[in-house]
Amino acid sequence: MEVVVAAAVFVISVLVLFGIFPISARAVRQAEQRLMASHLADNRLALCRSSAFADLKNQSAQSNTVLFRHQDEMVTEEFQLEQRVTDLTPKLKNIEVIVTWESDRRHQELRLETQIASLQP
């Protein structure tokens, strides 16, 4: 009887552990996608910071295909990158970068923004 109970506990434990693997793999993939989206948005903001103040303008969504490693295989992901510029004052602009992508048939979005001031008197 004890062996049967121990075997049942062992089997249930193994089944629970195997059920966790797909969930954790999906969470890792989503974290990788969010990290890549954050990297793309941060690079765009850095490009804006190094641009001339007068050149900062809206940019419609552009498609970016990114190749990266996921669990020992190369994966391509499609990200849409959009830039919105709002003039707050004649010498201050708000820059918002929006990155969107699809993950598990769900729309995902990441937004980063900063303000850039003109240094010209």
pLDDT digits (tens, 9 = 90+) for 56-103: 999 999 999 988 777 788 888 999 999 999 999 999 999 999 999 998
Pairing of strands 106-117, 73-89: unpaired
Model confidence band, residue 37 (pLDDT cutoffs 50, 70, 90)? very high
- Torsions phi, psi for 14 (to 5 deg): -65, -45
Report yes or no on whether pTM surpasses 0.75.
yes
- Residue 21 burial class via C-beta count within 10 angstroms: exposed 0-12, middle 13-18, buried 19 and up: exposed
pLDDT per position as a tens digit, 96-105: 999 999 988 8
Indicate the range of 15-29, 31-45, 69-83, 85-99 predicted with least confidence: 15-29
**What per-residue confidence (pLDDT) applies to 69?**
78
What mean pLDDT is reported for the chain?
Answer: 91
- Dihedral sign of CA atoms 44, 49, 50, 51 in order: positive
User: How long, in residues, is the chain?
Assistant: 121
Rg, the chain, Cα only = 23
